[in-house]
């Protein structure tokens, strides 16, 4: 018998795709993903909420989202982190 890693169930996949923190972490570059992932959950939720507001509010991101949703999400994540460090 082959030793396979367990694949996520449909419910787990759905939760990952709709969880704002998970989506935000996915949009980050690996270095920032690790750093933000180490922060308390409450702070991750705050950043994820700011990220979602950025995606909703910026018309430039709407245009980019039509071309490349991952690029738009990454740009919004970059902007949120830049505001955190300013």
**pLDDT tens column, 60-75:** 887 777 888 899 999 9
C-alpha–C-alpha distance, residues 7 and 41, integer Å: 25
**pLDDT of the residue at 77:** 96
Task: Write down the mean pLDDT value for the chain.
Answer: 82
Its pTM stands at 0.72
**pLDDT of the residue at 7:** 43
């Amino acid at each position: 018998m082959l030793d396979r890693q367990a694949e996520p169930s449909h419910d787990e996949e759905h939760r990952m795709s709709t969880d704002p923190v998970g989506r935000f972490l996915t949009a980050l570059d690996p270095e920032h993903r690790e750093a933000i992932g180490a922060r308390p959950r409450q702070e991750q939720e705050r950043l994820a909420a700011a990220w979602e507001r950025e995606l909703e509010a910026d018309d430039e991101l709407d245009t980019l989202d039509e071309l490349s949703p991952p690029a738009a999400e990454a740009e919004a994540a970059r902007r949120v982190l830049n505001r955190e460090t300013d």
